[in-house]
């Protein structure tokens, strides 16, 4: 394909997946201008990673739930509960910090099993089950904490979401290790894209022109290295960013290269066909919610580490941020469509908007209105695409 044909395809047939990347770049440029460059300052970029990492972690689980045609309204309450249990174990009972992390993960898994049982084996819609869970686990959080906040965590626990790797390889005014990690990430991305392109060519499938392929690699390299350069000039590589990167890579592989991932898409895309094809729908649905519970536990540990304590009201509205990230990132309201990378970019769109408006001093009420409108537009765009596709057929 020629470069011109590639670009036309990019802005028409593939607008659903590519549009979010274009929108993200536009939003970053807009808020960089509105904040006089403060958005992309090293300190602010570091704070952006620390403040919104837990939303991206939740979005990783939520995108799988949504692809399968479900929804989970309870994750904010589960974040609060897992953080509360971790705080009670570590702060109130004096257990080592890592025991608190394990306790948060264990509670998350139990919650996931609870939801999975009612959805997969009893057959109650996930909307109802998780709505009940939102109330149930918020109430349990209040019981666990006795309606009071617990703090502070020991320093090791705080390092999970607030620690940095700095000076490992030296550097004069900047952290060399952060730059090396950025370069490794670029090389790994280029290699994976090259392998994917070679595989498609081997099976005589259409691919983009070499010019557009190289331009894509170069664009990603510039963005990643610019981001790494800014982090290197702040406090170094955030530990939570490493955790997030590992999770993103893991779930990218799970959703695109495993039988479980293919079954999730099959269930969301066409449930009767999936059942006739031998997909064990109940088992897959059960593990979908187990996974969501686990990631809620991870997010609970990260958020409690970031806030250096557990509060009865923690996690409020987190579920809506995670759901919005998925829909803005291209997930379909009817299931069967969605990508991990899209959900991450959707989460970053929400993060940049929130951070940019905070820097501008926009009132919280106005921020909520804007977020709601953005979500509404994203879902309207999804419906518009479906109708257009139906008209073409």
Residue 390 has pLDDT above 90, yes or no: no
Same structural domain for residues 346 and 205? no
Same structural domain for residues 298 and 342? yes
More confident residue, 127 or 171: 127
Beta bridge partners of 165: 237
Percent of the chain topping pLDDT 90: 60
Residue recorded with tokens 């894209």:
193
**What is the rounded CA–CA span in Å between residue 393 and residue 381?**
19
Tens of pLDDT, residues 69-104: 999 999 999 999 999 999 999 999 999 999 999 999
Same structural domain for residues 148 and 179? no
Same structural domain for residues 177 and 127? no
What per-residue confidence (pLDDT) applies to 212?
A: 82
Same structural domain for residues 306 and 364? yes
Same structural domain for residues 307 and 295? yes
Average pLDDT over residues 193-212: 85
Residue 242 is assigned to a structural domain of this protein: no
**What is the rounded CA–CA span in Å between residue 174 and residue 13?**
43
Name the residue range of residue 338's domain: 3-163+255-392
Percent of the chain topping pLDDT 70: 93
Closest CA to 255 of 126, 348, 347, 341: 341
Provide the terminal-to-terminal Cα distance of the chain, rounded to the nearest Å: 24
Average pLDDT over residues 303-329: 92
Residue 247 has pLDDT above 70, yes or no: yes
What per-residue confidence (pLDDT) applies to 204?
A: 80
Torsion of CA 247, 250, 256, 259, to 10 degrees: -120
What per-residue confidence (pLDDT) applies to 166?
A: 87
Average pLDDT over residues 303-307: 94
What per-residue confidence (pLDDT) applies to 384?
A: 73
Least confident piece of the model among 106-120, 183-197, 363-377: 363-377
CATH number at residue 379: 1.10.3470
- Per-residue DSSP letters for 78-134? HHHHHHHHHHIIIIIT---HHHHHHHHHHHHHHHHHHHHIIIIII---HHHHHHHHH
Tens of pLDDT, residues 152-199: 999 999 999 999 988 888 777 788 899 999 999 999 989 988 998 888
Residue 363 has pLDDT above 80, yes or no: yes
The pLDDT-based confidence of 391 (bands split at 50, 70, 90) is low
What per-residue confidence (pLDDT) applies to 172?
A: 74
The pLDDT-based confidence of 288 (bands split at 50, 70, 90) is very high
Give the ranges where 205-238 is alpha helix by DSSP (H): 210-232
Average pLDDT over residues 122-135: 96
Tens of pLDDT, residues 5-63: 555 555 554 555 567 777 888 888 989 998 998 998 988 988 888 889 999 999 999 99
Same structural domain for residues 172 and 265? no
| Number of domains, the chain | 2
């Amino acid at each position: 394909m020629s470069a011109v044909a590639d670009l036309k395809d990019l802005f028409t047939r593939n607008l659903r997946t590519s549009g979010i990347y274009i929108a993200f770049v536009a939003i970053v440029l807009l808020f960089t201008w509105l904040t006089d460059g403060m958005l992309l300052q090293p300190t602010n970029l570091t704070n952006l990673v620390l403040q919104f990492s837990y939303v991206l972690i939740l979005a990783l689980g939520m995108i799988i739930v949504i692809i399968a045609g479900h929804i989970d309204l309870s994750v904010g309450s589960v974040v609060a509960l897992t953080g509360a249990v971790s705080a009670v174990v570590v702060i109130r009972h004096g257990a080592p910090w890592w025991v608190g992390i394990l306790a948060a993960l264990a509670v998350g898994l139990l919650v996931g099993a609870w939801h999975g049982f009612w959805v997969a084996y009893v057959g109650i819609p996930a909307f109802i089950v998780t709505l009940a869970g939102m109330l149930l686990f918020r109430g349990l959080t209040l019981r666990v904490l006795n309606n009071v906040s617990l703090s502070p965590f020991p320093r090791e626990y705080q390092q999970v979401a607030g620690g940095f790797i700095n000076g490992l390889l030296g550097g004069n005014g900047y952290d060399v290790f952060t730059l090396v990690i950025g370069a490794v990430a670029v090389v790994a991305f280029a290699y994976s894209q090259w392998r994917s392109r070679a595989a498609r060519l081997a099976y005589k499938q259409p691919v983009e022109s070499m010019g557009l392929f190289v331009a894509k690699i170069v664009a990603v390299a510039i963005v990643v290295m610019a981001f790494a350069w800014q982090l290197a000039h702040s406090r170094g590589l955030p530990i939570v960013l490493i955790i997030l990167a590992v999770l993103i890579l893991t779930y990218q592989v799970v959703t695109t290269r495993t039988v479980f991932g293919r079954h999730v898409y099959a269930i969301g895309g066409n449930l009767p066909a999936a059942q006739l094809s031998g997909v064990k729908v109940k088992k897959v649905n059960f593990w979908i919610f187990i996974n969501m519970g686990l990631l809620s536990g991870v997010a609970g540990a990260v958020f409690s580490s970031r806030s250096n304590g557990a509060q009865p009201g923690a996690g409020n509205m987190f579920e809506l941020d995670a759901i919005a990230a998925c829909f803005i990132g291209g997930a379909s309201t009817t299931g069967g469509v969605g990508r991990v990378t899209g959900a991450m970019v959707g989460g970053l769109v929400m993060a940049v908007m929130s951070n940019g408006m905070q820097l501008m001093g926009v009132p919280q009420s106005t921020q909520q209105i804007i977020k709601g409108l953005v979500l509404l537009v994203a879902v309207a765009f999804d419906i518009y695409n479906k109708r257009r596709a139906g008209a073409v057929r």
